[in-house]
């Protein structure tokens, strides 16, 4: 099944994929450093195939802080994760709103 891979390529950050111009010019490619390529590819694989990993990492961090007796640190980790999730949700809503406006303009 190549659908997840194809959709992952469509959602690469700007500059990671090669872009072609509409006017028919030759395709230009941007060659990335290996570290940048690996980190981008890893984040795509994690996002598409292992979406629960970030929450599992957060839970491990919270449990490690609690085991060390750092209750305030555990609370801080949870609050930071909640703020990040709220921010990502607001970005998704803004993006969905922009797509809806583009559809209405057609």
Q: Is the pTM of this model over 0.75?
A: no
pLDDT, residue 9, reads 52
Q: What is the pLDDT of residue 53?
A: 94
CA 50 → CA 53, 71, 84, distances in Å? 6, 28, 18
Place of tokens 């990671």: 16
- The tens-digit pLDDT sequence of the chain (106 residues) is 444 555 555 555 555 554 444 555 567 888 889 999 999 999 999 999 999 999 999 999 999 999 999 999 999 999 999 999 999 999 999 988 877 777 776 6
Please tell me the distance from the alpha carbon of residue 1 to that of residue 51, in angstroms, as a whole number. 18
Question: What is the per-residue pLDDT for 103?
Answer: 73
Query: For position 2, what pLDDT does the model report?
Result: 45
DSSP at 28: B
């Amino acid at each position: 099944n190549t659908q997840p891979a194809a959709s992952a390529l469509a959602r690469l950050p700007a500059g990671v994929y090669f872009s072609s111009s509409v006017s028919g010019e030759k395709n230009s490619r941007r060659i990335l450093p290996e570290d940048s390529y690996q980190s981008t590819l890893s984040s795509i694989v994690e996002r598409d195939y292992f979406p629960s990993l970030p929450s599992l990492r957060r839970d491990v961090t919270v449990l490690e802080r609690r085991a060390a007796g750092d209750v305030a640190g555990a609370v801080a980790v949870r609050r930071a994760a909640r703020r990040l999730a709220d921010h990502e949700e607001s970005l998704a809503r803004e993006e969905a709103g922009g797509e809806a406006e583009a559809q209405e303009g057609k």
